[in-house]
Amino acid sequence: MAIEEFFAPSGNARMADDFRAGYVAIVGRPNVGKSTLMNHLLGQKLSITSRKPQTTRHRIHGILSNHEMQAVFVDTPGIHRNEVRAINERMNKAAVSALVDVDLVLFVVDSDQWRDDDLLTLQKLGETNLTVVLVINKSDTLKDKGSVLPLIQTFNDSFDFADIVPVSALKNQNLDRLQEVIASHLPVAAPIYDTEQITDRSERFLASEIIREKIMRSAGDEVPYDLTVQIDEFKDEPAHTDPKTGRPRKACTFIDATIYVERGGQKAIVIGDKGQRIKQVGMDARKDMEQLFGKKIMLTLWVKVKRGWSDDERALTSLGY
């Protein structure tokens, strides 16, 4: 047993005999806290967040592993009715396609309101045979804690949920209970990924998302959704001695990124007065990248206008949507 444990994949030792593993889709309307929920379940920030709805544009896999289970979370864009532009249509398709071949669905709703987009999501779930757990987020915001009981009954009458779990993702409340519920609905299976791995997304992708988050948080409502980020260069440089100075230089990753907006006025907003906003965005993004990647980052940002990119199928494809 000791030999088998030594040669086991990293982190896979001492797994339970009835170890469970599977894919878990996190769905719901925009801005109910899906990304925050995944980040707090993982204890690691992978999916970007902001107070603006429809922040998540891509399906993002986060991997939670312990000795009893491995849950591969699929954080999805919020399902919404208004497919005004091509990017909105693709976001909806990405969210719905996440329901294919998953073992469990976490349907996330707000504790204080039920909207038309919630019903739209529930309608999509009703067209499947998937096991669905209702997650009532932001339960800590309820002034009367007893009011969650009739809310649970209302939700339970509308759909045959496998379980209903009230949580506060932001405050880490009842997430242990949610993990237990998730594990109970996953099939007995070997880990899908190495248990040390936390995502299947590349560092290039995560870097672009971090930059986009910092802009959205900094610019607020001044810049809507007409921006995207493309990584132009991602180059790892090992530790070495500078041939000119003879001084040792630490290992570093050089990242060049272009921020695309749709109008000249948006470019000016992103850059800010005398370049102060883009400078701050770069500093904040670099700090998060160094924490996530565990290495020194040198980040260079450019801002360019690419008119109509969010409603151009070819442009969306070239930008990774």
Nearest C-alpha neighbor of 42 from the set 64, 65, 9? 64
Phi–psi pair at 289, nearest 5 degrees: -65, -45
150 annotated ligand binder: no
174 annotated ligand binder: no
238 annotated ligand binder: no
Query: Distance between CA 65 and CA 195 in Å, rounded?
Result: 5
34 annotated ligand binder: yes
258 annotated ligand binder: no
Question: Any idea how long the chain is?
Answer: 321
Strand 20-27 and strand 132-137: pairing? unpaired
78 annotated ligand binder: yes
Alpha-carbon torsion 224, 205, 283, 278, what sign? negative
214 annotated ligand binder: no
312 annotated ligand binder: no
User: Half-sphere exposure of 319 toward its Cβ, with a 13 Å CA cutoff?
Assistant: 28
Strand 252-261 and strand 227-237: pairing? antiparallel
Listing DSSP states for 72-134 in one string gives EEEE-PPP-S---SHHHHHHHHHHHHTTTT-SEEEEEEESS---HHHHHHHHHHHTS---EEE
29 annotated ligand binder: yes
**What three-state secondary structure class fits 245?**
coil
176 annotated ligand binder: no
Instruction: Count other C-beta atoms under 10 Å from residue 242's C-beta.
Output: 9
30 annotated ligand binder: yes
Burial annotation 20-59 (CB, 10 A radius, 16+ → b, else e) = bbbbbbbbbbbbbbbbbbbbbbbeebbbbbbebebbbbbb
139 annotated ligand binder: yes
Residue corresponding to tokens 């922040």: 55
Is residue 122 within 8 Å of 159, Cβ to Cβ?
yes
35 annotated ligand binder: yes
31 annotated ligand binder: yes
Binding site, annotated residues for GTP: 28-35, 75-79, 137-140
Binding site, annotated residues: 28-35, 75-79, 137-140
